[in-house]
């Protein structure tokens, strides 16, 4: 168990280091001078040179890499070239939009997909099962931004239940904020829920064929308890794996969805920063996203051991 | 495949019968063929010329002349969808090609060599999977400049580890088999064994994965085009049409409906084809349905 955890931790750490080298190198070879960007086209040569020195742009590459990494470890992501405020502040302002969005989407998709997948598996071959599978097949094929447009048309333009886009900020109360995150969350959750329901169903079908399920039923345990207590727990491993992988898709999905709904989140921040060549913001956000993907997948690996005691002894 | 080897004379007929009775396979094949035909026909004929802007006809609803209506420049939406399909298909095909062309040799190499090479490939996979694909695609296209070619490269790069993983897993399962051992005993080199014995046996897995990645490629291309990073106007693309539709949705919802449906139907067809192929080609992997 300890060996297993240590190995996973080591791999996660190595991945993060490699990723930071990749991100840093990509930003390094990109054209564009941050000093020029900050001072504008009419800046004098002396001013540019002074600013470059001050920002440490003339230091050797290795030194800049180390100070960049070291800074991030203590929460100093540098200062944005275009917003002239610390990157960490920008990230904080945007994360309070993106994080709740991702959490609501994840909750929605999990709460819908797992019961639906279990239901379909329990009634395998029935009309209900076939239609659920048909709907999920469709759900996988629908691009989430198109689904978002349809949602906007129906719920914002036509029924006027929720705003079509924008974000009022949390300072006006929790409910207005949640309300403007609802449609984006549903749009994000749809393809995830469809995939998750399919995975849950096939994992459940496999488990339901096991002897211990028959034993539990034979000794008179109600069907529902067998499904939820015995079968679900054993079917959780593939479901957890997919949930972990989906987290990365969810993060990436926010780039498009936040653009559809004009939400001031991390996805929109990084998208705008890329187009404005605000590289230090891009570096910071990308590293943060990569780190969260690595950590979530690490957490999923470690939960395996909790869910399946057999894995605890294996390294 | 073990069952088929007992009755070799039945194999082709058996295969054909299985495919034609598989509902997913037939539905998927028909949809995919229709979309491909639409793209091919668009080279020689479209109902209207998509480069011809007739502003007087802008944003017309559905009619006999314009079955799906017209867009904000008065272009026929059905013709735009026909021409746009070329772009979607071309980007997805080349992206899958890049992924297979680099990923499969890498995966086979890692499986054959094992040890350090294998470990390095796995870490490379971990690394690429740590970057959310769409985020990186946005970065690549934004850095290299928007356009169909850069979209292809961005999507293609993320297909490499997918195919490397599938090829490696398939090859690893084959290497301990007796017939591979026999081939090695007969003095065949690892390259020859990979080409003659491993590749034909993992081809069906790769084909199935190829269809899935094809569908994902179409979705990714649509996403990039929607963000303005894919094919550039005046070249019609489904994602771009949806972007143009968004601000005009209050007055003309049909602008958003049809390009979206085109994406959904294409992706659905490819996914069904992939499911069907898996059932037909590899009964051992058949999922419960």
A292 Cβ contact partners less than 8 Å away, ≥ 6 residues apart: A247, A251
pTM of the model: 0.86
Q: Please name the residues in contact with A47: beta carbons below 8 A apart, sequence gap of 6 or more.
A: A39
- Judging contacts by C-beta atoms under 8 Å, the chain A residues touching residue B287 are 202
Tell me whether A209 touches chain B (CB under 8 Å): no
pLDDT of residue B103: 94
Give the Å distances, CA to CA, from A183 to A8, A102, A235, B84.
37, 12, 30, 28
Of B134, B242, B264, the CB nearest to A252: B134
pLDDT tens, position by position, for chain A (315 residues)?
A: 677 788 888 888 888 999 999 888 887 777 666 677 677 777 777 777 877 777 777 778 888 888 888 888 888 888 887 777 888 999 998 989 998 999 999 999 999 999 999 999 988 888 989 999 999 999 999 999 999 999 998 998 888 888 888 888 888 888 888 888 999 999 999 989 999 999 999 899 888 888 888 898 899 888 888 888 888 888 888 888 888 878 877 887 888 899 999 999 998 898 888 888 788 888 888 888 888 888 888 888 888 777 777 766 543
What single-letter DSSP state applies at residue B110? H
Query: Do A191 and A144 contact (CB within 8 A), yes or no?
Result: yes
Chain A touched by B271 (CB under 8 Å): yes
- Per-residue pLDDT reduced to its tens digit, B204-229: 889 989 999 999 999 999 999 998 88
**Which residues from B are below 8 Å from A143, CB to CB?**
219, 222-223, 260, 263-264, 267
Residue A311 has a pLDDT of 65
Could B143 and A26 be called an inter-chain contact, meaning their C-beta atoms sit closer than 8 Å?
Answer: yes
Residue A70, beta-bridge partner list: none
Under an 8 A CB cutoff, do B127 and A18 touch? yes
Given an 8 Å threshold on Cβ–Cβ distance, is B260 in contact with A282?
no
Number of H-type helices and E-type strands within chain A: 14, 0
Given a contact cutoff of 8 angstroms between Cβ atoms, the answer to whether A143 and A188 are in contact is no
Q: Does the beta-carbon distance from B260 to A152 stay under 8 Å?
A: no
Contact A184, A263 (CB under 8 A): yes
Portion of chain B with pLDDT greater than 90, in percent = 37
Chain A residue numbers with beta carbons less than 8 Å from the beta carbon of B133 are 248-249, 252
Distance from C-alpha of B267 to C-alpha of B211, rounded to nearest angstrom: 10
Whether B185 and chain A come into contact, CB under 8 Å, resolves to no
- B261: nearest CA in chain A? A142
């Amino acid at each position: 168990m300890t060996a297993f955890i240590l190995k996973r931790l080591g791999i996660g750490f190595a991945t993060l280091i490699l990723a930071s080298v990749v991100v840093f190198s990509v930003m390094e070879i990109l054209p564009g001078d941050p000093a020029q960007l900050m001072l504008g086209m009419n800046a004098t040569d002396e001013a540019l040179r002074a600013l470059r020195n001050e920002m440490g742009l003339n230091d050797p590459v290795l030194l800049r890499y180390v100070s960049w990494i070291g800074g991030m470890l203590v929460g100093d992501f540098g200062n944005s070239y275009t917003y002239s405020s610390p990157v960490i502040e920008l990230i904080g302002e945007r994360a309070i939009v993106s994080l709740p969005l991702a959490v609501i989407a994840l909750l929605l998709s999990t709460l819908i997909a797992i019961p639906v997948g279990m239901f379909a598996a329990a009634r395998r071959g029935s009309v209900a099962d076939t239609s659920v599978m048909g709907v999920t097949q469709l759900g996988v094929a629908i691009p989430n931004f198109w689904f978002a447009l349809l949602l906007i048309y129906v719920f914002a333009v036509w029924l006027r239940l929720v705003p079509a886009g924008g974000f009022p900020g949390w300072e006006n109360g929790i409910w207005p904020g949640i309300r403007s995150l609802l449609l984006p969350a549903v749009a994000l959750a749809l393809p995830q829920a469809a995939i998750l329901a399919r995975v849950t169903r096939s994992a459940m079908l496999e488990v339901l064929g096991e002897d211990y399920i028959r034993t539990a039923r034979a000794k008179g345990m109600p069907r529902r308890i067998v499904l939820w207590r015995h079968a679900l727990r054993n079917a959780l491993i593939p479901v957890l794996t997919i949930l972990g992988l989906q987290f990365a898709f969810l993060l990436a999905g926010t780039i498009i969805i936040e653009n559809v709904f004009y939400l001031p989140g991390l996805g929109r921040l990084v998208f705008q920063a890329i187009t404005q060549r605000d590289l230090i913001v891009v570096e910071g956000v990308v590293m943060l996203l990569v780190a969260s993907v690595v950590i979530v997948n690490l957490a999923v690996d470690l939960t395996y051991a909790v869910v399946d005691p057999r894995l605890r002894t294996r390294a | 495949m073990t069952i088929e080897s007992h009755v070799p004379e039945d194999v082709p007929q058996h295969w054909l019968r299985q495919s034609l009775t598989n509902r997913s396979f037939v539905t998927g094949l028909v949809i995919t063929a229709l979309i491909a035909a639409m793209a091919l026909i668009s080279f020689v004929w479209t109902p209207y010329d998509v480069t011809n802007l007739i502003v007087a006809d802008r944003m017309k609803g559905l009619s006999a002349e314009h079955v799906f209506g017209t867009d904000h420049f008065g272009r026929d939406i059905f013709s735009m969808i026909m021409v746009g399909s070329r772009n979607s298909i071309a980007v997805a095909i080349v992206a899958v090609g890049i992924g297979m062309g680099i990923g499969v040799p890498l995966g086979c190499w890692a499986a054959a060599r094992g040890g350090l090479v294998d470990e390095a490939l796995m870490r490379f996979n971990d690394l690429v999977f740590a970057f959310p694909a769409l985020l990186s695609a946005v970065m690549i296209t934004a850095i290299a400049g928007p356009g169909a070619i850069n979209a292809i490269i961005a999507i293609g790069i993320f297909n490499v580890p997918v195919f490397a993983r599938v090829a490696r897993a398939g090859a690893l399962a084959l290497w301990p088999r007796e017939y591979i051992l026999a081939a090695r005993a007969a003095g065949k080199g690892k390259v020859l064994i990979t080409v003659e014995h491993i590749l034909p046996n993992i081809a069906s897995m790769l084909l199935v994965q190829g269809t899935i990645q094809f569908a994902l490629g179409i979705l990714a291309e649509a996403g990039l085009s929607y963000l303005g990073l894919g094919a550039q106007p005046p070249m019609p693309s489904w994602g771009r049409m949806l972007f143009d539709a968004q601000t005009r949705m209050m007055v003309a919802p049909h602008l958003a409906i049809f390009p979206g449906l085109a994406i959904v139907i294409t992706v659905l067809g490819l996914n069904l084809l992939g499911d069907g192929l898996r059932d037909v080609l590899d009964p051992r992997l058949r999922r419960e349905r």
